Amino acid sequence: MSSDRGLPVLDVAYVEADLDVLLNDDGVLAVLGFGAAAPARSDPRYLRVGLDPMDDSAVFEVWRVPGPVEHGLDGRVRWAASDDYCFGAIELAEAGYADLSVATEAAYTELARFTQSRRWPHLLRIWNYLAAINEGEGDNERYRYFCTGRSAGMRSVLGRGFSAASAIGRSDAEPVLQVYWLAAREAGVAVENPRQVSAWRYPREYGPTSPTFARAMRGPCAAAQLHISGTAAVVGHQSRHDGDLAAQIDETFANLDSLLASAGNLSGFGAGSVLKAYVRRREDLATVAAILRQRLPDTAKRLILLGDICRAELLVELDGIHTADA
């Protein structure tokens, strides 16, 4: 059990290891594999994500907690949990639904049902991966359909506030909606970025339904652990530096610095940081890797993935989990 001062931090790492060995560890809450080269398994703690890693690296993202971990299936939800945290995942083939908004509403209705019925009701972080995220013009863009379905599916829990989140276009183009999340038995604290308009307050030009997520979520931990939403070169509500990859990365880091300050003047990225960079164009992968080597200390772990950003003009987005120095 955790102490009275808060939950233990979630231990997150990128590792190269045998998947079956990882899944035999009683303290493993979740394992994420990336791209077509990642193996397939039916274990509820494992999810293969439809984003190709740079250089086809066989890296797993591993979430560890003080064990033991129980796991199982509940309707469409695959889940695993400790006393403190719960990992859940839903995959829905779009072919079974009228459109993406209907599929997304179905996924989020299941997510809400599950979290409300279990002892980990507080959503800290949600990841969403979907095919062709920028396809369609204006209100017919698929990301806007996704936002509409997400809001509809989450109506029953929206009164509790928004979790941190990311929404990225799958690089394998498979028309399967993947939603996975981290929930906890205690509530975190949502964090907004003073450099940006809160996503749910975006003006109508971004679609009929505003995105429903917080810029970050500070976990209910004894130590300061920040779950960072997808962060890109957006200031106010407008995208910046169209076509300029380096400038977009600079703006993204300005937003990340602002988030760390807003979350309680947290220390900068380092050994307690586990970051993902989503890169729209394959030809930019090496450049992004080089810039991150300059911008981040060697101790900060990072994974570079090929994936489309929710706005067509944005070339790169970062998210992650940051555990600040004591």
Catalytic positions, please? 317
Angle at 151 between CA 178 and CA 263, to 5 degrees: 85
Backbone angles phi, psi at 91, to 5 degrees: -125, 125
Token output for 232: 């890109």
Phi-psi category of 132—alpha, beta or left, where left has phi over 0 and alpha has psi -120 to 50? left
Token output for 62: 């591993």
Rg (CA), the chain: 18
CB 307 within 8 A of CB 168: yes
Query: Residue 18: beta bridge partners?
Result: none
Tokens 């009164």 -> residue: 159
Whether omega before 68 lies within 30 degrees of 0, making that bond cis, reads yes
By the 10 Å C-beta count (0-12 exposed, 13-18 middle, 19+ buried), 95 is classed as exposed
DSSP code per residue over 82-144: -SSEEEEEEEEEGGGSSSHHHHHHHHHHHHHHHHHHSS--EEEEEEEEESSTT-SSGGGSHHH
